Amino acid sequence: MKYIDEFRDPELARQLLADIRVRSKRPVRFMEFCGGHTHAIFRHGLRQMLPPTVELRSGPGCPVCVTAHADLDRAVALAMLPGVILVTFGDMLKVPGSHGSLQTARAAGADVRIVYSALDALPIARDQPERAVIFLGVGFETTAPTVAASVLEAEARGLGNYYVLSLHKLTPPATRAILDPHPPYSPPIGGAGGVRLAGIIGPGHVTTVIGSQAWEFLPRDYGVSCAVAGFEPLDILQAVAALVEMAETGRPAVVNAYSRSVRPEGNRTALDVMYRVFEVSEAEWRGLGHVPASGLRLRPEYARFDAALAYSVDPGPTYLLPAPVPGASEHGGCRCGDVLRGTVEPPNCPLFRRVCTPARPVGPCMVSAEGACAAWYRYGTTDWERNGNGLGKERKRIGKGTEADWERNGCLTEW
């Protein structure tokens, strides 16, 4: 398949890996912001193919995972209102909140429906005008334009029963929150709890919308390199090679390693639609707390579509169980917030595999298809369990896949 097969070429992969091994002299830690990158890295066995000098950490690039408890509690409360149909993406169904999930709400009688696009909610609103249809808007800059388009279309169709609960997040401010040693907001997360990064693998889909220029603040303000990557093995290896080169030369910059999709200016049409309907606001992130200018809320001229304004609900208290970051609510023992900040890896969580599994997830990082815990559970080995779940142990390179596997399977390891 054009634009896919050539980015899974085993010979090119070997050449890139050889270049990385030769060039990488000093230990560096890179963060892949995007959950899609995390799963691609594990699926293709890239972690253990890289030299010991290169460490990869997962970041907060999973919109389901970073949705705060309080926001999820509000969504569950809205779903339980009489006459309400709550429409959402499938990943949100099993995410546990303080008092249950949307799945338990549905089991209790709430009308919760799964769609693939916000526009799919409009026929529901059209066919049931006597009921309120609330779309749960969760996602980054890739999703927000489509939700904005649904609001514009609902206005054009005269749908007075369509609403949006906007929990959208903006990615650059979250990256600042991870890197800032002393952020001017609460809670004081302390630069992601001390994680030091030499570079960031920029999210390909997000950057297709916002443009590679949106990451220029990383080298300018933090001295941190950024290489925007696609989601095939060679995309990611090309980005890692660029980050290694910048780390070795001490010249941080922004490199676009996904030029077949990303432009410096981004997708102006998508951005124009997004900012026509939404305006920037503060948002609460799981693991990061309240981050200024990192959310999107409906503009005053579209306030009638705002579910938060149309329906006043009391979701009950948000449980603030012991957590490493003040104000970040997690289930007791769950270290999802630490995973999202990159300060620990999933096997460091005492619940991983033992209590928290995809069948019975405790935290959202195990629920989402882009969650880091789900990636480690699906593709990782059990070395950490054999060594006391990795607590206090030296980092190990885990994951399946070898270069021989790539040769047999055309660079895509079959599981």
Residue boundaries of the structural domains of the chain:
1-320, 336-390
Q: Looking at residue 98, what is its pLDDT? A: 85
Nearest to 187 by CA among 324, 317, 294: 324
Pairs from 103-107 (Cβ < 8 Å, separation ≥ 24): 105/76, 105/79, 105/80, 106/79
State residue 388's pLDDT score.
41
pLDDT score for 182: 56
Least Cα distance to 146 among 89, 93, 202, 79 occurs for: 89
Calculate the CA 157 to chain-centre distance: 33
Give pLDDT, residue 99.
84
Q: Is 1-320 in CATH node 3.40.50.720?
A: no
pLDDT at residue 271 in the model? 98
pTM: 0.86
In the predicted model, residues of the chain with pLDDT beneath 70 are: 1-3, 182-194, 319-332, 381-415
pLDDT number for residue 325: 37
Q: In what order do the strands lie in the sheet with 84-88?
A: 111-114, 84-88, 132-137, 162-166
Q: Which of 226, 236, 246, 240 is nearest to 175 (CA)?
A: 226
Residues 408, 90: Cα–Cα separation, whole Å: 34
